[in-house]
Amino acid sequence: MGISAQPADAAGRPDGRTSFRYQIDPGQRVDDYFLVSNTGTADQAFTVVATDAFNDGEGDYALLATGESPEQIGTWVTFENGANRIEFTLGPGQSRVLPFTMQVPADATPGDHVGGVLASVITPGEEVNLDRRVASRLYARVAGDLQPRLAISGIDGSYNGDWWNLLSGTTTVHYTVSNPGNVALSANASGEVRTWFGIPVDSASGGSIAELLPGNSATYEIAVSGVAQLGYLNAEVVLHPFVDSPDAAAQLPVSPVSRDTPLVAVPWLLLIVFLLLGAVFGFRAWRRRADQKRAEAWMEYTEAEAKRKAEADLVGAGTRSSE
């Protein structure tokens, strides 16, 4: 893409870092360097910006638009022009090392403040401009009361299976993870499905959750397959949070978090069989009642006929004797 940007030392040499990470006190100042290069074949106008980070709709790390003004850590950084952005042009193959200063406010809250230092080159288009950006993440952990924790703020599940196969189906769980603490955390997720009396059915790994920044949230999904149609199911998600940093000093113990949700896996084949059996037995019971009623009616009719004929015979016999 014709742009390169990375952390560097004071001499302008890349120093192997992939991000800027500082453990710092309120009111403290840090000086550092950002190396920007034009790896293309034409002159390019660069805008280098210090800005804030957030989690996008997919839960991924993202930075504010180049033209958008930061409100948090991006405002702590200034370049040699005294602002948090600087513009310049580089010819093909040229590089420039940019010294910058990060001044942490004296009233900065404890915990992780996350942003990025990015190099942007905008190419005008007929309808929209193309903003090509390369960034290095910027982390400042301000000393104080650190509260690393994640929460599952919402969860719901669904079951999908073939009506004719009682032993196979998939339980899908959608859950929302929020970071109410003040430390950026990633997590390993797993899902488990239980049925009546807490009996385990099956489990699955939900993979890794990308780093979730303080105050942010994102929605994820876990699918557990091979779940039978047992009627009642209870799906649980368990998160094991951790600090995703190569710096051992940045690691913190974080408690696991879990949440479950009940759902129904209707055994349709059994239900259809029971309905058919119920219909058969119901029909047979109705036939027995109907046959019994007809038999009772026939008995009443025959008794009435016998009585009528007996009375008629008595009347005829009396008439003949009187003659």
Give tens-digit pLDDT for 70-86.
999 999 999 999 999 99
Select from 3.40.50.80, 3.40.50.2000, 3.40.630.30, 2.60.40.10 the CATH code of 151-266: 2.60.40.10
Q: What is the pLDDT of residues 262-271, one digit of tens each?
A: 999 887 666 6
Over the chain, what is the mean pLDDT? 91
Distance of CA 255 to the CA centre of its chain: 19
Element (H, E) at 82: none
Distances (CA, A) of 103 to 31, 77, 113, 121: 9, 7, 13, 27
**Mean pLDDT in residue range 294-307:** 83
Select from 3.10.180.10, 3.40.190.10, 3.90.25.10, 2.60.40.10 the CATH code of 3-142: 2.60.40.10
Is residue 283 very low, low, confident or very high in pLDDT (cuts 50, 70, 90)? Answer: confident
**Contacts of 19 by beta carbon, 8 Å cutoff, 6+ apart:** 7, 136, 137, 138, 139
What residue ranges do the domains of the chain occupy? 3-142, 151-266, 268-323
Task: Say how far apart CA 34 and CA 120 lie, in whole Å.
Answer: 13
**Mean pLDDT in residue range 286-293:** 86
User: Is the per-residue pLDDT at 127 higher than 80?
Assistant: no
Closest CA to 181 of 238, 112, 251, 249: 112
Task: Say how far apart CA 118 and CA 91 lie, in whole Å.
Answer: 19
Common-topology check for domains 3-142 and 151-266: yes
Burial of 148 per CB tally in 10 Å (0-12, 13-18, 19+)? buried
Closest CA to 202 of 273, 265, 115, 156: 265
pLDDT for position 57? 87
Could you give the angle at the alpha carbon of 52 between the alpha carbons of 221 and 241, nearest 5°? 35
Please state the pTM of the whole predicted model.
0.81
